[in-house]
Amino acid sequence: MFRNRHSGGKFLLTICFDKHHIIIANSKGFTITHLFLGSMVGSCFYGLRLRRPKSKPLPEPPSSSKANLESDVDNTGRKRFDSMESWSMILDSMETWEASKEEEQEEWTADLSQLFIGNKFASGAHSRIYRGIYKQRAVAVKMVRIPSEDEERKVLLETQFNSEVALLSRLFHHNIVQFIAACKKPPVYCIITEYMSQGTLRMYLNKKEPYSLSIETILRLSLDISRGMEYLHSQGVIHRDLKSSNLLLNDEMRVKVADFGTSCLETRCRKSKGNSGTYRWMAPEMVKEKPYTRKVDVYSFGIVLWELTTALLPFQGMTPVQAAFAVAEKVK
């Protein structure tokens, strides 16, 4: 059932899509309340099926000289990225995506009419992760903002997105976060996965006293991680950024490996050099930009085991660069 009316410049919409779910929307800010009859779930959701008048085009990024570009991106661009107004405009643009008959759709392409985006619960330099509902299922929606003003960063983020989707869409294991769908249409790239309600392993450890985890808990969590990584390596994939904040926990406190943005097939990165990943968990050969293999994940797993044992952050008291130097120089 759809009921809508226009009053006082506001477009109001009520959607009842089955006997268990009610969506009540007000287009001002696209705030939507989602109710699950019988138990209250969710809070504010942003409906991708809503659209604003097309009278105002998306603003062009401010022009700046090459010398001032970096500061513009760090300041104005970041403020615009964090602005809910900018995100609501981006979400608006998703509604207008209509594939032509000639356009080939990937099998993983999300049906955006079935996607509702809720509260943000995590963020990165160029991405935001939201709770959501996709086809009446709780999901996590990772949305990546592709910067038009930085060509090098744009290419890097697009490459990472393509790699993550290509890998996740063919990985099936109970200790690997489940891929559901994705959408790709500049300026929005999104990846939809199962929702892991207990957050990251790092968040879990932050709430614990040092050395407080029982041996049984350490073994259970370690086995979950090792099984996920064993499967990943059996598929010829190197994660390259294994760390406690990329390990997620579900309601049953089972661990699943996540975030494959920097992962690669071993056959393609066998002779790779560089330091993709995070310094505190990075293997010495990657820090020194030497050729590496899947063994870099084994090193990172060892750091995670240390985290489980101590509940502490690796190289606490050091900056990431200092930690990398300590590893490279074998300073304890």
- Spatial neighbors of 191 by CB under 8 A, at least 6 apart, are 141, 142, 144, 161, 164, 165, 168, 179, 182
- DSSP-assigned letter for residue 246: G
Q: Using 50, 70 and 90 to split pLDDT, how confident is the model at 177?
A: very high
CATH topology of domain 106-195: Phosphorylase Kinase; domain 1 (3.30.200)
Total H helices, total E strands in the chain: 10, 14
The pTM of the full predicted model, rounded to 2 decimals, is: 0.70
Confidence at residue 92, expressed as pLDDT on a 0 to 100 scale:
55
Per-residue model confidence as pLDDT tens digits over 87-114: 444 555 555 444 443 345 678 899 988 9
Q: Which residues are tagged catalytic?
A: 241
One-letter amino acid of 64: S
Residue 14 pLDDT greater than 80, yes or no: no
Q: List Cα–Cα distances, 103 to 31, 98, 107, 129, 197, in angstroms.
A: 32, 10, 13, 28, 36
Residue 9 pLDDT greater than 50, yes or no: no
Q: Using 50, 70 and 90 to split pLDDT, how confident is the model at 20?
A: very low
| Percent of the chain with pLDDT strictly greater than 70 | 66
Confidence at residue 330, expressed as pLDDT on a 0 to 100 scale:
75
Confidence at residue 313, expressed as pLDDT on a 0 to 100 scale:
96
Confidence at residue 3, expressed as pLDDT on a 0 to 100 scale:
38
Give Rg (Cα) of the chain: 22
Please, what sign has the CA dihedral across residues 122, 128, 132, 137?
negative
Per-residue model confidence as pLDDT tens digits over 218-227: 999 999 999 9
CB count within 10 Å of CB 67 equals 7
Residue 11 pLDDT greater than 80, yes or no: no
One-letter amino acid of 86: S
Confidence at residue 157, expressed as pLDDT on a 0 to 100 scale:
86
Buried b (16+ CB within 10 A) or exposed e, 160-173: bbebbbebbbebeb
- Cα–Cα dist 167/257, whole Å: 13
- Cα–Cα dist 232/227, whole Å: 9
One-letter amino acid of 94: M
Contact assessment for residue 204 and residue 255, using Cβ atoms and an 8 Å cutoff = no
Confidence at residue 35, expressed as pLDDT on a 0 to 100 scale:
42
Q: Using 50, 70 and 90 to split pLDDT, how confident is the model at 273?
A: low
Confidence at residue 274, expressed as pLDDT on a 0 to 100 scale:
58
Buried b (16+ CB within 10 A) or exposed e, 2-12: eeeeeeeeebe
Give the lowest-confidence range in 93-107, 230-244, 299-313.
93-107
Tell me what the mean pLDDT of segment 241-268 comes to.
95
Give the lowest-confidence range in 132-136, 276-280, 302-306.
276-280
Per-residue model confidence as pLDDT tens digits over 183-207: 987 777 899 999 999 999 999 999 9
Per-residue model confidence as pLDDT tens digits over 22-39: 444 444 333 344 444 333
One-letter amino acid of 35: L
Q: List Cα–Cα distances, 43 to 1, 46, 231, in angstroms.
A: 21, 10, 36
| Residue ranges in 248-294 assigned as alpha helix (H) | 266-269, 284-287
CATH topology of domain 201-328: Transferase(Phosphotransferase); domain 1 (1.10.510)
Neighbouring-strand partners of residue 15: 2, 23
Written as one string, the DSSP assignment of 119-135 is: EEEEE-SSEEEEEEEET
Per-residue model confidence as pLDDT tens digits over 122-175: 887 778 999 999 999 999 999 988 877 888 888 888 888 988 999 999 999 999
Residue 287 pLDDT greater than 50, yes or no: yes
Per-residue model confidence as pLDDT tens digits over 53-90: 343 443 444 444 334 434 443 444 444 444 444 444 45
- Cα–Cα dist 87/187, whole Å: 11
- Cα–Cα dist 130/22, whole Å: 20
Residue 237 pLDDT greater than 90, yes or no: yes
